[in-house]
Amino acid sequence: MFEWLENFSYIIVFNILNLEKHSPISEALSFFIYDTLKIFILLISIIYIVTLLRSYFPIEKARAYISGKNKITGHVLAAIFGVITPFCSCSAIPLFLGFLQARIPLGVTFSYLISAPLSDAVVIAMLLSLFGWKIALLYIGIGLFVAIIAGIIIGSMGLEKEVLIEVKPIDEMNYKEDETKFRHRLRESWEYSRDIFKKIYLYVIIGVGIGAFIHGYIPADFIALYAGGDIWYAPIVSVVMGIPMYSNAAGILPLVEVLTSKGMLLGTALSFMMAVVALSLPEAMILKRVLSTKLIAIFFAIVGFEILLVGYLFNAILQ
């Protein structure tokens, strides 16, 4: 699909810049040009399509569906809705309280809160185009599993008193159907995609830049030796590294792509990515306004532990 881009990057590196073939600098540079452009094209088109589709699934609709379902169904639905509804970390609090107001149990609310950033539709589409459908499906399945199980565990611990703000239940859930015209939606989605792109393009360039450096200068053996498969603690290191890093998953994917091609096991790489997107310090700070530190710590511990399990599981299966 992207051969023309590869050729384009070769033309720049070998014909225009006249760099020597198979040298680290030409390897790194051609990779950088090729991968940056490829990811940009993928990102813009994927975000645009996903945003357009998502405008038909507002969070309010999801909330109305989930409330009143029994618990297990609630967890499953909440996790699935997490994949398709839009979510940005600044809406974490209103969303969280809005779910509780609708009498959706705490655990089910957490299933949504975990699933939404973890299995973002844009990330899934990117995984699909970079790694193929098997990995994408496996990732979705595991993302849903983590969200459902973590939600059930948190729900069973009786932590309702750890919500620091009084939640007044509401009864009427008048959800007004959005009658925005299709042409209007097209324009809105475009504006939204442009905004997102502006926000993350730098991260992508940095991610690909690091990737290109690794690609050209660091031999595969090096990564295999220090972050590779046979080291039992590799997933732990990657999760601990991932938490303070806060990036959009789309920004971190190029790095994951390079690391795996250099010998890092996919489970370790996915653990890293999940830790970056699902457990972020900024999100914890936002949630601190409504949740006790204890509940946030429990939330991080459970999700972190599950992400680790996922890493080990993936490494064991795909070996």
Partner 1 sequence: MKIEILGTGCAKCKTLEEAAKQAVAKIGGFHSVEKVEDIVKIMNYNVISTPALVVDNVVKSSGKVLSVDEIVKILKES
Q: Which residues bind partner 1 (CB under 8 A)?
A: 58-60, 63, 86, 88, 90-91, 93-95, 97-99, 101, 165-168, 170, 188, 286, 289-290
Residue 88 zone, left/alpha/beta (φ > 0; ψ -120 to 50; rest)? beta
Q: Minimum CB separation from partner 1 for residue 194, in Å?
A: 12
The packing angle between helices 266-278 and 293-317, to 10°, is 160
Q: Which is nearer to partner 1, 218 or 286 (CB)?
A: 286
Question: Do 33 and 9 touch, CB atoms closer than 8 A?
Answer: yes
- Cβ neighbour number for residue 103 with a 10 Å cutoff: 12
Q: Which is nearer to partner 1, 161 or 176 (CB)?
A: 176
Q: Which is nearer to partner 1, 253 or 287 (CB)?
A: 287
Amino acid at site 277: V
Q: Which is nearer to partner 1, 22 or 198 (CB)?
A: 198
Rounded Cα gap, residues 248 and 39, in angstroms? 14
Nearest Cα to Cα of residue 67 among 177, 170, 176: 170
Q: Which is nearer to partner 1, 32 or 99 (CB)?
A: 99
Q: Minimum CB separation from partner 1 for residue 298, in Å?
A: 22
H helix or E strand, kind and range, residue 280: none
Nearest Cα to Cα of residue 89 among 67, 114, 106: 114
- Residue 265: exposed, middle, or buried by beta-carbon count in 10 A (0-12, 13-18, 19+)? buried
Q: Minimum CB separation from partner 1 for residue 92, in Å?
A: 9
3-state secondary structure of 19: coil
Rounded Cα gap, residues 232 and 235, in angstroms? 8
Q: Which is nearer to partner 1, 90 or 297 (CB)?
A: 90
Q: Which is nearer to partner 1, 51 or 271 (CB)?
A: 51
Q: Minimum CB separation from partner 1 for residue 247, in Å?
A: 17
Q: Minimum CB separation from partner 1 for residue 63, in Å?
A: 7
Nearest Cα to Cα of residue 96 among 275, 249, 289: 289
Q: Minimum CB separation from partner 1 for residue 91, in Å?
A: 5
Rounded Cα gap, residues 154 and 203, in angstroms? 33
Amino acid at site 100: L
Nearest Cα to Cα of residue 58 among 171, 147, 148, 179: 179
Q: Which is nearer to partner 1, 189 or 271 (CB)?
A: 189
Q: Minimum CB separation from partner 1 for residue 32, in Å?
A: 29
Q: Minimum CB separation from partner 1 for residue 148, in Å?
A: 21
Rg (CA), the chain: 21
Show the tokens assigned to 230.
């046979």
